[in-house]
């Protein structure tokens, strides 16, 4: 039997550790808000419909139109700032930036509507209960559903994809990222009682699980389908190093996506897939000590060859991708609650370790620098020679979300 002073000591120690970690979360959330304040100031001189995305060579903010895949992340981060503070000033900014996106509810030109609308309007509805936001989200889900084909049992990601190997075009490409968009469909099904949204989401998830995830739980980025019979025509990469490699952010989308799909379905096949993908990521010999992955797990490895047109042939530096780490950290906080205690504790420890790495001077920007983004050192797409070793708005969004999830677990 352990002596009483042992229990007093360990109880005291865990309160002390929890207190320290609360301070860690609060100071990082405070820093994030400070950067967001600077960024809001910077946006004042921009066009009304310009959404923060990354920086240029001079370290100044670059924006995109609302029709790119990332406009929802800045409003989403503003909603997290509001959630942290309940300050109406943050709410006003979050509302302003969210409502700029209203035309997206009818957008059907690519699959990213889940990212664009659920991070913005989804958080808006969660935190305000405003029914107008609910209706906009449901209309967005209808628009996303138009890209589903019952023959491929998938939502088409892009209208076309050109192989890095030559001139071959594919007209039904599905990328692993697309799993993230399903959250909008699950939401719409719950809100309306219309099971067709859910049917589309589950069908897509099953197809991705069979065709996009390899037997060892690594992942293909792009799977191209034949719409006449639903057969797979090709498995390639767009943003990864090689067709048979594992693009780190793709694996991150898979871990987060299948965790969310398990939350929505309670189907153990999806939990097994989420955990398998997480284990593959965390146990990988190529994952650096600080758990911030290289942009691709197999870059520069023997047995992996980029397509002839890919810029990956010319990049020898193994850049880190902070965005992948932030997504995985957030996902692991959730996944840790769905598995048995000891496995869950492992995922939670990894999620916390990643957060601490990201909050270190190696990855967190000095205040007022980095185009006022929070985190440095992400990668958009090396094959396309775009956004290499830069801040990215979605790295910041998932960092803030991971902080929120960590904080909730400490309460």
Enumerate binding residues for ligand GLY (CB under 6 A): 69, 177, 239, 249
Question: Which one of 26, 42, 68, 112 is the catalytic residue?
Answer: 112
Q: Which is nearer to ligand GLY, 69 or 148 (CB)?
A: 69
Report which residue's Cβ sits closest to ligand GLY.
Answer: 177
Candidates 145, 159, 247, 252; CA nearest to 204 is: 145
Alpha-carbon distance values, 63 to 70, 101, 152, 317, 377 (Å): 10, 14, 35, 26, 18
Q: Which is nearer to ligand GLY, 51 or 69 (CB)?
A: 69
Provide, rounded to whole angstroms, the least separation between the CB of residue 69 and ligand GLY.
6
Reply yes or no on whether 177 is catalytic.
Answer: yes
Tokens 């809100």 correspond to what residue? 191
Instruction: Tell me the three state secondary structure of residue 236.
Output: strand
Instruction: Tell me the three state secondary structure of residue 28.
Output: helix
Provide, rounded to whole angstroms, the least separation between the CB of residue 140 and ligand GLY.
17
Provide, rounded to whole angstroms, the least separation between the CB of residue 394 and ligand GLY.
7
Q: What phi and psi values does residue 232 have, to the nearest 5 degrees?
A: -75, 125
CA distance linking residue 90 with residue 83, whole number of Å: 9
Instruction: Tell me the three state secondary structure of residue 293.
Output: coil
Provide, rounded to whole angstroms, the least separation between the CB of residue 26 and ligand GLY.
29
Q: Which is nearer to ligand GLY, 43 or 239 (CB)?
A: 239
Question: Which one of 26, 68, 135, 177 is the catalytic residue?
Answer: 177
Instruction: Tell me the three state secondary structure of residue 181.
Output: helix
Q: Which is nearer to ligand GLY, 95 or 182 (CB)?
A: 182
CB 197 within 8 A of CB 141: yes
Instruction: Tell me the three state secondary structure of residue 242.
Output: coil
- Dihedral sign computed on CA atoms, order 199, 201, 206, 208: positive
Reply yes or no on whether 226 is catalytic.
Answer: no
Provide, rounded to whole angstroms, the least separation between the CB of residue 115 and ligand GLY.
7
Q: Which residues are catalytic?
A: 112, 177
């Amino acid at each position: 039997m352990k002596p009483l002073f042992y229990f007093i000591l360990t109880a005291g120690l865990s309160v002390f550790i929890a207190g320290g970690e609360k301070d860690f979360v609060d100071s990082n959330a405070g820093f994030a808000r400070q950067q967001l304040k600077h960024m809001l100031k910077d946006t004042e001189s921009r066009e009304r419909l310009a959404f923060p995305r990354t920086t240029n060579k001079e370290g100044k903010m670059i924006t995109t139109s609302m029709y790119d895949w990332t406009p929802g992340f800045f409003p989403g981060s503003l909603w997290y700032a509001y959630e942290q503070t309940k300050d109406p000033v943050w709410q006003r900014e979050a509302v302003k930036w969210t409502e700029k996106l209203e035309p997206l509810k009818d957008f059907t030109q690519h699959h990213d509507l889940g990212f664009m609308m659920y991070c913005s309007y989804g958080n808006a509805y969660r935190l305000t209960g405003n029914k107008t936001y609910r209706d906009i989200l449901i209309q967005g889900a209808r628009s996303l559903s138009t890209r589903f084909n019952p023959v491929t049992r998938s939502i088409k990601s892009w209208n076309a994809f050109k192989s890095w190997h030559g001139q071959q075009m594919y007209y039904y490409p599905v990328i692993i990222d697309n799993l993230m968009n399903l959250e909008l469909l699950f939401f719409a099904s719950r809100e309306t009682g219309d099971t067709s949204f859910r049917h589309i989401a589950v069908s897509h998830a099953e197809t991705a699980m069979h065709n996009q995830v390899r037997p060892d739980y690594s992942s293909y980025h792009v799977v191209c389908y034949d719409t006449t019979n639903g057969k797979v025509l090709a498995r390639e990469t767009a943003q990864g190093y090689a067709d048979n490699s594992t693009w780190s952010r793709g694996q991150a989308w898979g871990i987060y996506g299948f965790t969310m799909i398990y939350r929505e379905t309670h189907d153990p096949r999806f939990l097994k897939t989420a955990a398998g993908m997480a284990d593959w990521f965390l146990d990988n010999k190529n994952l650096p000590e600080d758990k911030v992955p290289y942009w691709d797990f197999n870059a520069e490895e023997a047995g992996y060859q980029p397509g002839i047109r890919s810029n990956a042939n010319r990049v020898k530096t193994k850049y880190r991708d902070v965005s992948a780490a932030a997504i995985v950290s957030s996902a692991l906080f959730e996944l840790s609650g769905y598995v048995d205690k000891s496995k869950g504790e492992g995922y939670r420890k990894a999620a916390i370790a990643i957060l601490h790495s990201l909050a270190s001077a190696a990855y967190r920007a000095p205040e007022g620098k980095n185009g006022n983004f929070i985190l440095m050192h992400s990668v958009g797409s090396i094959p396309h020679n775009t956004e290499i070793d830069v801040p990215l708005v979605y790295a910041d969004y998932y960092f803030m979300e991971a902080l929120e999830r960590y904080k909730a677990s400490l309460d």
